Amino acid sequence: MRRYDTVLFLLCGLSAILSAGCGETEPPEMDGGDALRILSLTPNVTEMLFAMGLGDSVVGRSTWCRYPPEALALPAVGDTLHINLQQVIALEPTMAFMITGRTGIIRGLEARGIRAVALRSDTLPEMFESIRTIGRETGREEAARRLIERIEADLEAVRRRVAGRPRPRALFAFPMTIGSARIMVAGRGTFVDALLEVAGAENAFPDRAHWPTVTPQKAIAMRPEVIIINATGDSGAPDRIEAIRQAWANWPSIPAVAAGRVHVLTEAYLTIPGPRVGLAAGRLAEAIHPEVKEGRP
Amino acid sequence: MSEKEATADRAYVDVRGVSFAYAAAAPVFDALSMSIPRGRLVSLLGPNGSGKTTLLRILLRLLKPSAGEVCLAGIRLEEYPVGALARRVAYVPQETPAILPFTVIETVLMGRSPHTGALGFETAADWHAAREALRLTDTEQFSERSLEELSGGERQRVIIARALAQEPELVLLDEPTAFLDIKHQHAIYRLLRRLVAGRNMTVLCVSHDLNLAATYSDEAILICRGRVAATGLPVDVLRPDVLEQAYETPVQVRLDEVTGRPFVLPRPADE
Amino acid sequence: MTLHPLSARRYALTVLVWAAVWLAVSVAAVAVGSRPWVWNSWAQALDYLRDTLYGVATASVVGGALALSGLAFQALLRNPLASPYILGVSGGASLGVILSSLFVSVLLQPIFGFFGALVTVGIVYTIAQRRGRLDPYTLILTGVIVNAFYGAAIMLTMGLVSPETRGDIAYWMMGNIRRFDLQWGLAAVVGGLAVGTAVIFAFLAKGFNLVAVGEDTAGALGVRVDRLRHVTFVVASLVTGAAVALVGPIGFVGLICPHLLRVLLGPDHRRLVPACLFFGAAFLVLADLATSVLEGVVSPPPPVGVLTAMAGGPFFIYLLRTRWRKVAKVQ
């Protein structure tokens, strides 16, 4: 693994020098005869591809891509931080999509003749733009448009369900693995923040921030009325959930604690900005407005 | 004084058949026996590596002999509780590196630690003993100064003061004048003599300087190759044949016309 | 530097004065730290008080424990650069907490941390002892090896886990006093150990003074040097291990506090021991207060270990330069 990193790094340096004079790379012309061989290096991108009906064209995924179940059958080549280049080359992809801010991996793949596209999904608008970009690159604009419509409809359905209800202050947080000196919460402007809006709540964290951390003092000051802890994977073990409850029980002045509205949700899709955001919003709505169940007006 | 007491005083420090080795291959003593009478200034002499410092450490119970026993005032050394031994025996090492900035008075007060309680509180009696020790060693004027500021000679006097503050019966010194100039060498020995004469202390002084030892000691013990080579009055111990055997170098011994004490000079080689 | 003998009365006075200093600092910290100016309701006031009280209590017991432990290790190892972590106990406690959180149960963290410290004491003793005796030089070398081993083990663990967990581990290793899951029980244990340690070291203080002058001299003055070394090693290690299991390895407190106090009080350990307990406590209480006050300015505030390093480092340099100047003048 390490060796390939060194190769990749050298390659980036070389290609940086070589492509210094070039402007932004243009999308290739779509040739009807070319088969699409897509590499997806980020979980939400994989979901988007499958949701757009491109599942058959995906030839490789990152280690962390676990949904949909069909994706598990694909070979895993690492992730945007550590990629197994040899395996990538063996799969002969024609293009690669990933969420990343690093130009190194993009240039590395491009240098091997693979069209590499960096996408963003920190906010809902960015996520929709990423879907459109995938549609454009793969010549499936129609599928992209339909997916976006479907997602927006899902979100609208949730909005309708909770319309008119009082909007409590809600905090969405991740627990820490070791000790709990702080928790990481969704700040305003993140896509989870947008989901909270859809689910009929107001983010208790008042500022625009990208996943800030919060101390007990700050939590007391924010006075959230609902607290949602997203404990996924190992964090969702019973002893951890118990530890989380015990931790919050120390602070009874927080309205959420006093009213028993601290919810530990173990679903992983809550923080994946992809086709399942509607589902995520619905699940959040259930937790925030438990009196409104699926199907009831 | 009864005969028993006289005998006890004759062998105030009684070393019987002591053997010791740091490592199995290199024994230091082999059934060494000697005794030190009470109220005397005794010099312990011997060539390098003969184990003088080791013997001191055995007397201080810092080392345990593999055979034999040591008695102090008739009682076996092992039977002394730790504090009791420290109240009786004081030690003046050859050198005291001043790492921490303790003052002179603090250093001398450390000598009171066998007498202070578990938490180390000092009483007026401790303070008095310390001041007395400073007076005896003529170091009162340095009381508040840090030990590291003093010269070698002054520091050595302070360490002796520390030993005196213990109010011991027996004082063990390891080459106390090794790094001192002639003025301080004689000052130290004169002080030791005053202690022996005035306070009935017993002093055992390891020395390389045969002439100083000869001038001031009541008795001398010469150890060599793990055994006692000679013991008795300085004039009896410091004889050319004994010295040449022990130090493996030609010497000549003259007698001082006034005091009758011997002094040792190297003999020029005939060849 | 005082001219008076250290009598029982003066000693009691010293202890009371330092205790008063700590108490004053703590009360001020609670008053300021609980932010009375933002209280909306009694319930909220109680929560702020709870957070601050926990911070002050934990900082006190950990600060006292680390300062005492630092003093003891500096005496035991005859090394002014010794800290409580020099023999690797913090590595053992840290690894115990980390492995327990990841692989066993997050609720058992503190127990595993303390267990890790115990195991380390055993390992260090086994490696360093020679014929049942502990020698400072060997101990330091053993500590270097053990610390290297634990560093590698923790890095290995970090390599095997997800990036988020990696961040959590790194964060824990910086040392944190305040937390959501208040560990009153463990703080009480550390407090008991710290006070017990202070009492034990008060009885050993005389011995520390003498051993600093010389091993033979100390032995000749009635100190059982071997027993002193064993007891000091075990007691200091255990109290350090407990503190690290509670808050993680907070640095600099154990190194700086003894030095600061030596400048103030001189090298006599009889005075330094009670002073270290209370001064160390006050020191860390102030550092913890600073983090909670800084939260208004820099959110989130830096971990307390960062503050102690940032405050302690420059002061230490200043100390070093003034002390060297004093020594140079004499020569």
pLDDT digits (tens, 9 = 90+) for B43-52: 999 998 888 9
Touch of A by B (3+ CB pairs closer than 8 Å): no
Q: What is the pLDDT of residue A31?
A: 47
Of B110, B119, B148, the CB nearest to C210: B110
Closest approach of chain A CAs to the CA of C284, in angstroms?
Answer: 17
**3-class secondary structure, A172:** strand
Please, are residues C327 and B101 in contact by the beta-carbon 8 Å criterion?
Answer: no
C26, C60 contact by CB (below 8 A) = yes
Return the bridge partners of B266, or none.
B251
Which listed CATH number (3.40.50.1370, 1.10.260.40, 3.40.50.1220, 3.40.50.1980) goes with A2-119?
A: 3.40.50.1980
Residue B127 has pLDDT above 70, yes or no: yes
Chain A residues within an 8 Å CB radius of C158: none
pLDDT at B150 over 80: yes
| Per-residue model confidence as pLDDT tens digits over C147-156 | 999 999 999 9
The pLDDT tens digits for C223-254 are 999 999 999 999 999 999 999 999 999 989 99
Select from A178, A217, A253 the Cβ nearest to the Cβ of C101.
A178
Domain boundaries along the sequence of chain A: 2-119, 167-288
* Beta carbons within 8 Å of A232's beta carbon, 6+ residues apart: A266, A267, A268
What string of H, E and C letters represents the secondary structure of A102-118? CHHHHHHHHHCCCEEEE
Rounded to the nearest angstrom, the minimum Cα separation between C236 and chain A is 24
Confidence label for B10 from pLDDT (cuts 50, 70 and 90):
confident
Q: Are strands B170-174 and B202-206 parallel, antiparallel or unpaired?
A: parallel
What residues of chain B lie within 8 A of the CB of C8, using their CB? 119, 121
Asked if residue C70 has pLDDT above 90, the reply is yes
Superfamily of domain C8-330: ABC transporter involved in vitamin B12 uptake, BtuC (1.10.3470.10)
Place of tokens 């207060």: C289
How many Å lie between the alpha carbon of C203 and the closest alpha carbon of chain B?
A: 5
The yes-or-no verdict on residue B4 having pLDDT over 80 is: no
Q: Is the pLDDT of residue B266 over 50?
A: yes
- C222 touching B, CB under 8 A? yes
In whole numbers, what is the pLDDT of chain B averaged over residues?
89
Position A191, amino acid: F
Which of C46, C54, C101, C106 best tests the A interface by mutation, with the highest count of A CBs <10 A?
C106
SS (H, E, C) chain B: CCHHHHHHHHCCEEEEEEEEEEECCEEEEEEEEEEECCCCEEEEECCCCCCHHHHHHHHCCCCCCCEEEEEECCEEHHHCCHHHHHHHEEEECCCCCCCCCCEHHHHHHHCCCCCCCCCCCCCHHHHHHHHHHHHHCCCHHHCCCEHHHCCHHHHHHHHHHHHHHCCCCEEEEECCCCCCCHHHHHHHHHHHHHHHHHHCCEEEEECCCHHHHHHHCCEEEEEECCEEEEEECHHHHCCHHHHHHHHCCCEEEEECCCCCCEEEEECCCCC
Per-residue pLDDT tens listing for chain A (297 residues) = 455 555 555 655 555 555 544 444 445 544 444 688 999 999 999 999 999 999 899 999 998 898 899 999 999 998 888 888 889 989 999 999 999 888 888 998 999 889 999 999 999 999 999 999 999 999 999 999 999 999 999 999 999 999 999 999 999 999 888 878 889 999 999 999 999 999 999 999 999 988 898 999 999 999 999 999 998 877 778 888 888 999 999 999 999 999 999 999 999 999 999 999 999 999 999 999 988 765 544
Residue in B closest to C268 by C-alpha = B102
Contact A217 C292 (CB under 8 A): yes
Give yes or no for a contact between C92 and C310, defined as CB atoms under 8 angstroms apart: no
Chain C residue with CA closest to A247: the answer is C181
Res A119: pLDDT: 93
Instruction: Note whether B85 contacts C222, CB cutoff 8 Å.
Output: yes
Using CB atoms, which residue from C5, C209, C221 is nearest to B114?
Answer: C221
pLDDT tens digit string along B193-215? Answer: 998 998 889 999 999 899 999 99
How many cross-chain Cβ pairs, B to C, lie less than 8 Å apart? 94
Residues in chain C with CB shorter than 8 Å from the CB of A246 are 181
Contact between A215 and C301 (Cβ < 8 Å):
yes
On whether the CB atoms of residues C84 and C251 are closer than 8 A, the answer is: no
Determine the Cα–Cα distance for residues C241 and C235; give it in Å rounded to an integer: 10
Q: Which residue from A45, A47, A50, A285 is spatially nearest to A168, judged by alpha carbons? A: A285
Where helices occur in chain A by DSSP H, the ranges are 2-18, 43-51, 85-91, 103-111, 124-138, 141-162, 191-198, 216-222, 238-248, 255-258, 277-288
Residue A264, H or E segment: strand A262-265
Angstroms from C280 CA to nearest CA on chain A: 22
- Note the pLDDT of residue A23: 45
Cα–Cα distances in angstroms (integers) from residue B135 to residues B160, B180, C5, in the given order: 11, 20, 18
Tokens, residue C220? 């000749």
No. of H helices and E strands in chain A?
Answer: 11, 10
Contact criterion met (CB < 8 Å) for C213 and B110: yes
Which residues on A lie below 8 Å from C93 (Cβ)?
none
Question: Which two structure tokens, joined as six digits, stand for C106?
Answer: 């997050």
The verdict on a CB contact (< 8 Å) between A81 and C48 is: no
Long-range contacts from B24-28, C-beta under 8 angstroms, 24+ separation: B27/B226, B28/B54, B28/B226
C-alpha to C-alpha distance for C183 and C190, rounded to whole angstroms = 11
Q: Predicted confidence band at C7 (pLDDT cuts at 50, 70, 90)?
A: confident
Interface contact flag, A181 C292, Cβ < 8 Å: no
User: Closest approach of chain C CAs to the CA of A110, in angstroms?
Assistant: 26
Residue B138 · residue B125 · CB < 8 Å: no
Position A1 scores a pLDDT of 46
Contacts of C109 in chain A (CB under 8 A): 178-179
- Which uninterrupted H or E stretch holds A38? strand A38-40
Residue range B36-42: average pLDDT?
92
Q: Which residue has the higher pLDDT, A136 or B100?
A: A136
Q: What is the pLDDT of residues B62-94, one digit of tens each?
A: 999 999 999 998 899 999 998 899 999 999 998
A242 has a chain C CB within 8 A of its CB: yes
Judge whether A135 and A169 are in contact, CB under 8 Å.
no
Whether residues C47 and A239 touch (CB distance < 8 A) is answered with no
Interface confidence, given as ipTM, is 0.89
Q: Which two tokens stand for residue B207?
A: 């020395």
Report the residue of chain A nearest C44, measured CA to CA. Answer: A253
A169-174 and A202-203 beta bridge pairing? parallel
Count of CB pairs separated by less than 8 Å, A with C: 106
Domain boundaries, chain C: 8-330
pLDDT 10s digits, C136-172: 999 999 999 999 999 999 999 998 888 888 888 998 9
Which residues of chain A are within 8 Å of residue C302 when distances are taken between CB atoms? none
Of C5, C327, C330, the CB nearest to B122: C5
Q: What integer pLDDT is reported at residue C69 of this predicted model?
A: 97
Longest dimension (CA), chain A: 66
Q: Region C21-31: what's the mean pLDDT?
A: 96
User: What pTM did the predictor assign?
Assistant: 0.87
Rounded to whole angstroms, the Cα distance separating A84 from A73 reads 17
Distances (CA, A) of A147 to A52, A133, A157, A192, A231: 6, 13, 15, 19, 28
**CATH value of A167-288 in 3.40.50.1980, 2.60.40.420, 3.30.70.141, 3.30.70.260:** 3.40.50.1980
Most confident region among B1-5, C229-233, C312-316 by mean pLDDT: C229-233
How confident is the model at residue A3, as a pLDDT? Answer: 58
- pLDDT tens for each residue of B104-123: 999 999 999 999 988 889 99
Q: What was the pLDDT predicted at C20? A: 97
| Chain C residues 211-240 with CB within 8 Å of chain A | none
- Chain B nearest-CA residue for C328: B149
Query: Which residues in chain C have Cβ-Cβ distances shorter than 8 Å to A177?
Result: 101-102, 106, 164-165, 168-169
Check residue C329 and give its pLDDT.
40
Give the pLDDT score at A10: 60
